[in-house]
Structure 1
Amino acid sequence: MVPPMPTDPVAKPRTKPAEERRDELMRSAERLFLEKGLEQTTIEEITAGAGVAKGTFYLQFSSKADILQALRARFVQGVLDGIVAAVEGRKGQDWRGKLAAWSTACASGYLDAAGLHHLAFVAEPPATREGLSRNILIDHLSELLAAGASGDAWSVDDPGFTAVFLFNALHGVVNQPVDETPAGRAELLRKIEAHFLRTLGLASGID
């Protein structure tokens, strides 16, 4: 008689953490949505692409619309993370540099993920347009404008209003067809930076 195999009391579970499963589902959904569109993609295809059972999807999301909303939130958070890193890379009182860094990092974040942005906010727009007047990017810019005003870098009566104005100007520009060559992108970023600086009464360095 063959003796039973000994069990390992410290063996690690073979299942992945829920957060990792969620990330795999989101990456699969993003790829499929970009390839096929939201309506043409099935939940079965999403789970197959993530290598999980269909039931796992419903442990994380209630529908395709729900996972699309999660992709929207991750997109905006990713743009903010890039902005924060760029702004914090400038010296403490370099307000002009911080504002320029904010505009470039925000525009770059949108341009780098143009396909996902178009899908999540244009082809399949959110139920309301509140995100154009209130979101974490506008909040961060408003805080930067207020801090720069306190540091006498510029004068701004209403940082919140100005942040909405600048964000929507940038958003409108990057949401248009652009020259995707390196030179074309660099020129676009220079123009955006110049308009941010001029709005605050700062020299842009561009005639």
Structure 2
Amino acid sequence: MTVKPRNVKPATKTAARPRTKPAEVRLDELMGAAETLFLSQGVEGTTINDIVAHAQVAKGTFYHYFASKNEMLEALGRRYTEQFLVTLQEAVDACANNDWVERLRVWIYTNIETYAKTYRVHDIVYTNHHHHDRSNQDKNAILDQLTEIIDQGTAAGVWAPDDSRVVALLIYSGVHGATDDIIAADLQDCSVFARNVAQACLRMLSPVAN
């Protein structure tokens, strides 16, 4: 007697769901939790236990990425600068490629606007930075971005500064100091102020004589 095989449906494979989040996502969430807590209760008032509880991760996860809270704070500083630079670059890239006056104006305006919105995070992550810190790599990265805009405008014949780096330093320091002033004054809308600062900074650049 021949036994007919039963009509067995082939097993369907279901896509395996990842048990854990990608490392970069987990790290970003961990740093985001720390930033939120630092803003709400201060760096000193926040413990590593607070951070991992807020991020809903094990304490070992924290130590996988950071040796201490101070090391995390340094990483938050780097992240702040990276995000700041991206914001500036995206604003500049939205301008016409050959309009160097507008690109510089927008860089200055966006710098003021972004700093005014994020100064509380800035003050947390840069608490140990001073104006005389000559090895401030984050400041240098922003200065390099600004200097490049000035140099490109010079190469295009828009202006002719004696020293583009000096002009960049003056603009950077002026913008930073001016924004500190409106933060202290608790100015809610800084748009007019930012435009006026941008116009004043542009006057530092000597236009090429026609």
Give the TM-score normalised by the residue count of structure 2. 0.84
* 2:48 counterpart (34, 43, 47): 43
1:141 aligns with 2:146: yes
Matching residue's letter, 1:44: N
**In the alignment, what sits opposite 2:128?**
125
Between the two structures, name the one with larger relative contact order (CA 8 Å, sep ≥ 6).
2
Between the two proteins, the alignment pairs up a number of residues equal to 193
Q: Would you say the 8 A contact 2:76–2:125 is kept in 1?
A: yes
Q: Would you say the 8 A contact 1:132–1:168 is kept in 2?
A: no
**In the alignment, what sits opposite 2:196?**
191
1:31 aligns with 2:36: yes
Q: Would you say the 8 A contact 2:92–2:107 is kept in 1?
A: yes
Pairwise CA distance, 1:13: 2.2
Matching residue's letter, 1:181: Q
Q: Distance in 1 between matches of 2:99 and 2:186?
A: 31
- SS at structure 2 position matched to 1:67: helix
Q: Cα–Cα, structure 1 residues 79 and 161, in superposed 2: closer, same or farther, change >3 Å?
A: same
- SS at structure 1 position matched to 2:107: helix
Matching residue's letter, 1:180: L
Pairwise CA distance, 1:10: 4.3
Greater Cα shift, 36-45 or 167-176 = 167-176
Give the TM-score normalised by the residue count of structure 1. 0.85
Pairwise CA distance, 1:133: 8.7
* 1:113 counterpart (101, 118, 130): 118
Matching residue's letter, 1:53: A
**In the alignment, what sits opposite 1:180?**
187
Pairwise CA distance, 1:158: 2.1
Q: Would you say the 8 A contact 1:86–1:102 is kept in 2?
A: yes
Residue ranges of structure 2 left out of the alignment (5+ in a row): 1-10
Q: Distance in 1 between matches of 2:66 and 2:101?
A: 42
Q: Distance in 2 between matches of 1:35 and 1:71?
A: 16
Q: Distance in 1 between matches of 2:176 and 2:199?
A: 15
**In the alignment, what sits opposite 2:4?**
none
Greater Cα shift, 131-140 or 91-100 = 131-140
The alignment yields a C-alpha RMSD, in angstroms, of: 2.2
* 1:83 counterpart (55, 70, 88): 88
Structure 1 runs, 4 residues or longer, greater than 4 Å off:
none
Pairwise CA distance, 1:161: 2.4
Q: Distance in 1 between matches of 2:128 and 2:25?
A: 27
**In the alignment, what sits opposite 1:3?**
none
Residue ranges of structure 1 left out of the alignment (5+ in a row): 1-5, 203-207
Q: Cα–Cα, structure 1 residues 72 and 85, in superposed 2: closer, same or farther, change >3 Å?
A: same
Matching residue's letter, 2:49: E
Matching residue's letter, 1:93: N
Q: Would you say the 8 A contact 1:79–1:105 is kept in 2?
A: no
Q: Distance in 1 between matches of 2:51 and 2:75?
A: 14
Matching residue's letter, 2:187: E
Q: Cα–Cα, structure 1 residues 169 and 200, in superposed 2: closer, same or farther, change >3 Å?
A: same
* 2:104 counterpart (89, 92, 99): 99
Per-residue displacement from partner, 1:12-35 (whole Å, max 9, x unpaired)? 221111111111111111111111
Matching residue's letter, 1:11: A
- SS at structure 2 position matched to 1:98: helix
Pairwise CA distance, 1:135: 2.1
